[in-house]
Amino acid sequence: MPLIEATNLQKTYRLGKVNVPVLRGVDLQVDEGSCIAVLGASGSGKSTLLHLLGGLDRPDKRSGASSAIEFDGTPISSFGAREMDRYRNRSVGFVFQFYHLLPELNVLENAMLGSLVGVGRVGYARRAGEIRARATALLERFGLEQRLRHRPAELSGGERQRVAIARALVNAPRLLLADEPTGNLDEKTGASILDALLEHRSEAGLTMVMVTHDVRVANRADRIVRLKDGVVVEEGVQAP
């Protein structure tokens, strides 16, 4: 049973007066609890695919294009703005190559941010302790218990990415979307980050779509989808 299913995804960006097709009819199914890697060269449309799956962007609606994305059987392409915000907050977690931590917040606050966005003043008053405990537990799990009050600028790259992962997981999403999660780290640090991420994924039964151009990273996934010029050119299941 696919958790997320994309059908004939098409996306064209306009650069000046030129239309640049980035995705040209991508079909993708991701089963619940599985981990797939989207592999491709720079400009192949990997990140765009991730943004569409995560509801950060919408596929083309041109006549003739029948792009559709379904999450757990529900078509997210037809979501209104409020539903899409909720989808990104509750169902999806994003991990970016450059971490995107907010420099003014400390580690714990960055990790809590997803939950803070999702609750109002009353909700926060009721659930502050729970949110803090969950963020703290995730940070401890990723070995950052000594760094809770530190600012991102005081952390190493690996530590920053761990904080970003904790932030992505704080609302216990069903789908984790990681855009080159080790792309900005050295090999050793990247490997340890990936270990931690995949370990958590398998424990939590998390569905994960990981975009990478690194074959070694892609090889850690259950399945690899290779993108080239906006179309899936190869798809294969990894040996366990």
Partner 1 sequence: MYQPLLTRRYLLSKVMPLLAALAVMLCTAMVLIVWSVMGGFLQTLLDSGRSLIGDVSIEWKVVGLPHYEELVEELEARDEIEAATPTIESLGLLTLDNNEPRFVTLLGIEPDGYDRVTGFYDRLWWRPLDEPLPRDAEGLDPRLDTEQRDRLQRAYEHGQTLQEPNPTGGGLSSAMVVGVEVTQTNRRTPEGYIEPRWGVFVPEERFTITAVPMSRQGVVIQPEYLSLPVANEFRSGMYDIDAGFVILPLEELQRILKMSRAERYSQWQPGATVINDDGEEVPALPEVIGIEPARVTSILMRAAPGFSNADAELAAEDVVEAYGKKYPFASPTRDPGWREWAVFQWEEKPGLRVYIAAVRKETALILVLFTFISLTAAFLVCAIFWSMVSEKTRDVGTLRAIGASRTGVAWLFLRYGMAIGIVGALTGGALAWTIVHNINPIHEWMGRALGLQIWDPGVYYFTEIPNQVDPVKATIVIGSGVLFSVLGALLPAMRAAWMDPVKALRFE
Contact positions toward partner 1, by CB under 8 A?
A: 51, 54, 56-57, 81-82, 85-90, 94, 96, 100-102, 104-105, 109, 113-114, 116-121, 123-124, 167-168
Q: Give the nearest distance from C-beta 111 to partner 1 in angstroms.
A: 11
The pairing of strands 2-15 and 18-31 is antiparallel
Q: Least distance to partner 1 from the beta carbon of 120, Å?
A: 6
Three-state DSSP state, 9? strand
Phi-psi region of 132 (alpha: psi -120 to 50; beta: other; left: phi over 0): alpha
Closest CA to 211 of 183, 175, 172, 235: 183
CB-nearer residue toward partner 1: 24 or 90: 90
Q: How far is the CB of 175 from partner 1 (least distance, A)?
A: 13
d(CA 89, CA 234): 31
Q: How far is the CB of 70 from partner 1 (least distance, A)?
A: 20
Minimum Å gap between C-beta 167 and partner 1 is: 7
112: left (phi over 0), alpha (psi -120 to 50) or beta: alpha
Q: Which residues contact 182 (CB under 8 A, 6 or more apart)?
A: 161, 189, 190, 191, 193, 194, 212, 214, 217
Our CB check for partner 1 shows the closer of 71 and 87 to be 87
Closer to partner 1 at the Cβ: 102 or 237? 102
Tokens coding 226: 């290779």
